[in-house]
Structure 1
């Protein structure tokens, strides 16, 4: 890298740092006052002109300073941003909070809370791919002559339940026996791997037993299917409101994305960050119009699972990258 290119990156980093801090366009005078760049004002102005020509910064209006573009943020993340180690109190707080978690559900809930607090962005965590959809236990409870409560517990500790009508009503004792039979068939299996085992189970029953068992089997399969899709736990949505001025358009489309989660699930699916590695997507890289003024910093914490923050493209990437990476590593370690 030439001396000129290195200096331009240094100035770009200073512009990003100042704009993130002040939310105001950055001029050459303020750069020289805030940073020891070791060059003249004329050199700074010339380098800023070159950065603007390269599409890394732009002037929002006449006589204003410069602000980074999405391309500028991308260049900053790729070439300038460095991992800032968390302070000892921050590391201790994270470790203490996560170590006391009773199960995966509580661990992930605490993870998004502390991540949102440390970064002041929306924090998201994808349920562990191997745990979110593996069955731990099935419970059947007859609550009325024609109603049965079907309860599904997965290895993540998540409990889903559904009350279903039953036509071929049987005594409560029958459903207790059926529960034990079902658990022997499905416990430990993925929710996406139930069709054949349940068919084989029904086929092995005598014809008189089959109608009542089939009702329960169908209801259980339908309940399990709702767990086959990925899940995201989230915290810090209110931080979007605090950053509303960073979104030129109404923030409602962004809030809709957060509420529906389908776009986020697709985003997580497309991320390829290995455990502990960080991936950053900025603006149009997110491929959804509602997210074109946003950025996501994510890291893998297990096979096919991620933890991430979402906020405006004008976010503190250094803190975000460092914090997301550290928390992803902590979560990975606790789930081993």
Structure 2
């Protein structure tokens, strides 16, 4: 579609329809918006928009409503996002700053995001593979057992127990801990396999089984899929949006219950943009054809270097500027909290 005026008409239709849930006619556009053209011109513009597939007429005598294609054009041409109010920013910062551990941070975040947007909020736990190792601790549990504690920059803590066939020398365990932290701290966990493997050559042959056992446990921890999980809040908001779905909300709820669906959608998104929006059929799932998903990465030191994603899912008739702003702001605050 070409023409700034037609884009302005589309913007006005989207804004009115999101606000009222009523199809928008040319007379309403003239009354509510200063478009600077005659009603006849607006009708011509609406006809062109409809022909291009950006708006549709749900009933013979009704006005027009945006299509997925129209929402996509609207989102792609947003000049700026609606800023959060000072009160909202203070509430986000205060709530997240009071969290006591990673689980608490994630739970607070998902509830906060659902409250801010009045949509379904989804937060993925920080990915262990993309996290940076902050510290590794080896804690003797007896003569032949040692606890491996992995602490990441995202606040995640993983614990694994290693069994040895021989008595563990505390001095060797202390040296191994020091050497592991020296070569691994500050690296992504996916990048430590090589350094850990090379480390065994620095120990005497009789101590290498312990080095191998600890190294194997580190690698196996990275290969586990247990960290790939999400938490959700605000599914009750879908009930209030029931009129936005031509079908029942059942398929949407079923898709949300299948965590693998949301994890797949998150994995398909890139960090090139601060906020990513998938609309309708772009979600590639039958149950989500009438929904939009707004997401952002979080947890990285840079905006495009996140370790996990969070987002909001709701009907395609949503306040995109406000939702995108809330998602972006919460992701930024969450990243700051995790790196504090």
Bin the TM-score by the shorter chain: 0.7 to 0.9
The offset of 1:255, in angstroms, is: 1.1
Measured in 2, the distance between the counterparts of 1:80 and 1:214 equals: 54
Measured in 2, the distance between the counterparts of 1:327 and 1:197 equals: 35
What is the Cα-based RMSD across aligned positions, in Å? 4.0
- Corresponding position of 2:322: 319
- Corresponding position of 1:183: 177
* From 279, 283, 289, the counterpart of 2:280: 283
The offset of 1:257, in angstroms, is: 5.3
Structure 2 segments unaligned to the other structure (5+ residues): none
* From 291, 295, 303, the counterpart of 1:294: 291
Measured in 1, the distance between the counterparts of 2:333 and 2:218 equals: 35
**Greater mean alpha carbon deviation, residues 24-33 or residues 318-327:** 24-33
Q: Does 1:124 align with 2:126?
A: no
Measured in 2, the distance between the counterparts of 1:224 and 1:80 equals: 39
Measured in 2, the distance between the counterparts of 1:177 and 1:49 equals: 80
* From 21, 30, 33, the counterpart of 1:23: 21
TM-score, normalization: structure 2? 0.74
Say which SS state the counterpart of residue 174 (structure 2) adopts: helix
Tell me if structure 2 keeps the 8 A contact 1:232–1:261.
no
The offset of 1:68, in angstroms, is: 0.8
The offset of 1:267, in angstroms, is: 2.6
Measured in 2, the distance between the counterparts of 1:237 and 1:163 equals: 37
CA change 1:161–1:330 in 2 (3 A) is closer
Q: Does 1:255 align with 2:256?
A: yes
Tell me if structure 1 keeps the 8 A contact 2:118–2:234.
no
* From 38, 53, 76, the counterpart of 2:74: 76
Q: Deviations over 1:4-44 (max 9, x none)?
A: x4443333223212322333433445555655656665544
Measured in 2, the distance between the counterparts of 1:104 and 1:206 equals: 38
- Corresponding position of 1:309: 312
- Corresponding position of 1:8: 6
CA change 1:18–1:176 in 2 (3 A) is farther
Measured in 2, the distance between the counterparts of 1:38 and 1:158 equals: 56
Tell me if structure 1 keeps the 8 A contact 2:176–2:211.
no
Q: Deviations over 1:173-223 (max 9, x none)?
A: x27545423322322143223333333333444444444553343233312
Structure 1 segments unaligned to the other structure (5+ residues): none
Give the paired residue count: 324
Measured in 1, the distance between the counterparts of 2:68 and 2:33 equals: 23
The offset of 1:315, in angstroms, is: 1.3
Measured in 2, the distance between the counterparts of 1:329 and 1:157 equals: 16
TM-score, normalization: structure 1? 0.75
**Greater mean alpha carbon deviation, residues 55-64 or residues 70-79:** 55-64
Measured in 1, the distance between the counterparts of 2:267 and 2:63 equals: 37
The offset of 1:299, in angstroms, is: 4.4
Measured in 2, the distance between the counterparts of 1:135 and 1:258 equals: 29
Q: Deviations over 1:55-85 (max 9, x none)?
A: 1111234444322111101221233564322
1:267-282 to 2 correspondences below 5 Å? 267-268=268-269, 270-273=270-273, 277-282=274-279
CA change 1:52–1:102 in 2 (3 A) is same
Tell me if structure 2 keeps the 8 A contact 1:20–1:314.
yes
